[in-house]
Amino acid sequence: MPEPTTASSPEGKAARAAEELAAEGNPVTNRAVRERARVSMAVAAEAARVWNELAAEQESVPDFPDDVRARFDGIWRAAYVAARQEFDEVRAGWVSRVETAQKDAAALTKAVAELEEQLAQEREEAHQAQRTAAGELAEAQARAAKAEGTLEAVTAERDRLLTELESARKTASS
């Protein structure tokens, strides 16, 4: 961290406050530096910015050593190959399931079409049977009406003949 030019100056107090906050494990913020050093917000903001920039530079992570990079590359390659293989297996399973579902859907669609066709035929047969039954009913009603007319004529003829027979008996007995 930069050394202040004067320890008792506001900038020096702010820099010292930033160091103390960091040493205590507290975040180095404008407000925290201002409260600790009892300086203006502008001085506290500059001290916090400078301290945080320097801390970030010191915390940078160095590059991997070549032997670590080589090991990491090998591990990464093995992990990638294993993940890709597992992905391909899972994908193949889902492709198979989708194909099976599509075949099932096609079979069910065909079955529904056949049932709809059968239903249409049976409806037509039912309508035809209803028309046939209606025609036969009309014929039966016409025959019944004709038979009823014939019955009335036969009954009237019988009654006339009975009356005639009774008259002939009365005449023969008298």
Residue from 20, 45, 23, 19 nearest 34 by CA: 45
**What six digits make up the tokens of 73?**
């590359």
Q: What is the pLDDT of residues 57-115, one digit of tens each?
A: 887 777 778 888 889 999 999 999 999 999 999 999 999 999 999 999 999 999 999 99
Q: What is the pLDDT of residues 22-59, one digit of tens each?
A: 999 999 999 999 999 999 999 999 999 999 998 888 87
**What six digits make up the tokens of 102?**
């599509």
∠ CA 166-168-174, rounded to 5°? 100
> What is the Cα–Cα distance from 25 to 15, expressed in whole angstroms?
16
- Which of the four pLDDT bands, split at 50, 70 and 90, describes residue 127? very high
The CA distances from residue 136 to 133, 141, 151, in Å, are 5, 8, 22
> What is the Cα–Cα distance from 39 to 7, expressed in whole angstroms?
13
